[in-house]
A and B are shown apart, each in its own frame.
Chain A
Amino acid sequence: MSAAAPAGAADATTAERRFPPVAEAGVAALGLIVIGGIYMASYAPRRAPLVLPVILAVASAVLVLADLVVLSRTKDFAWDKFFLVGRWTLLSYVIAAGLIEFAFVKDHTRGGPLVVITAMLVLFAVIVPLIISFTVARYNSGGPDTA
């Protein structure tokens, strides 16, 4: 965003600027976690087969990592807004994920299923703040396209 830009011009640039599909990939990663969670919950209180949830969690983690790599290479991005929103939303979703984890531990989920659920909850607690903080920051960023 140029300091010399005329009134309104910088905002127009912000609205029209194209960003990498970080939010879209984040929603896809969230969807994979949700499918895995539904699959495991549908087996409760029995032990669910873990192959499908593990595949979904790994695929989701790969999407999140790809998201973070692409995002780290984005130029002229409002990182201050990204981290401002990110740290508070991360706090709130860590609390939410902790509450869900507590419920599973309380219900005697142990071993492999608990590990998979914990991994899914960690991803959940990262993905949602990532989508929210990216969406806020992108409308506070100006300048040229990403690298």
Chain B
Amino acid sequence: MTDTTAEVLSNGAALGHGPPAGAPGRPVIQIVPLKGLPVVAVILAFLAASIGFNWQWGLDFNHVAGGALWTGIDLFVGLVVGPILGRLSIPARAEFSARFMPKMVLLMPTLVAMTLASGFQLALDLGNLKATSPNHAWLVASFIVVGVMATIALGVLEPANLAVLFEMRKPRPNGEVIAKLMKRFIYTAGITGVMQVGTLIIMTRVASR
């Protein structure tokens, strides 16, 4: 175990060694913010209705709003927040993550679902997926970029995110485990952030034709 595990959380609990006697208790981490679930349900119902009724404005709204937020958050977290987080002390990272990551657990899958489902429907409706369309190759390129990002996000980033939250809920969180998982989160967020630049180039090309 590294010496960082002995560092003390800013609220008084020692990583890997339990809270000192008399220290204020750490706040209980809610892994999935339950208050956000009805909002997610409404958004998904809106998305399903937009697809089901081929509602042009609904599809545009889901794709543009979802895509803008997804791309923006990925870029910001990957290229701005991630490097800052990497330079913070383990307790500071842990405290930030305890408040930040539960929100990401709900936010990102919702934005991804909004963007991809409506985007595929729009591409079909607008004929951009047809082999004869000048946009076809660009859309296939976007599928590949999204496919790589999805594999990284679902297979590496999200499991690390949830594992950190479960670790921090323990009476004696293991600083080494948190540091290892946070490093994974920071690197993968950086990779998906860079790949979002590719998405921006592809989508602006498609919209310009």
Contacts and interface: CB of A to CB of B under 8 A. Distances in A.
A45 B130 contact: yes
Contact of A23 (B48, B140, B155): B155
A103 B120 contact: yes
Nearest to B131: A46
Contact of B172 (A11, A134, A136): A11
Interface stretch (A31-39, A54-62, A67-75, A112-120): A31-39
A95 B166 CA distance: 23
A42 interface: yes
Interface size bucket, B side? Answer: 35 or more
B144 interface: yes
B18 A7 contact: yes
Nearest to B18: A7
B155 A26 contact: yes
B151 A34 contact: yes
B151 A7 contact: no
B1 A8 contact: yes
Main SS class of interface, B? helix
Contact of A99 (B1, B117, B180): B117
Contact of A34 (B120, B150, B177): B150
Contacts of A135: 159-160, 162-163
Nearest to B174: A11
B163 A136 contact: yes
A70 B184 CA distance: 24
Contacts of A92: 109
A27 B1 contact: no
B166 A136 contact: yes
A8 B16 contact: yes
Nearest to B147: A34
A34 B117 CA distance: 15
A107 B124 contact: yes
A128 B154 contact: yes
Interface of B: 1, 5, 16-18, 32, 44, 47-48, 51-52, 109, 113, 117, 120-121, 124, 129-131, 139-140, 143-144, 147-148, 150-151, 154-156, 158-160, 162-163, 166-167, 172, 174, 176-177, 180-181
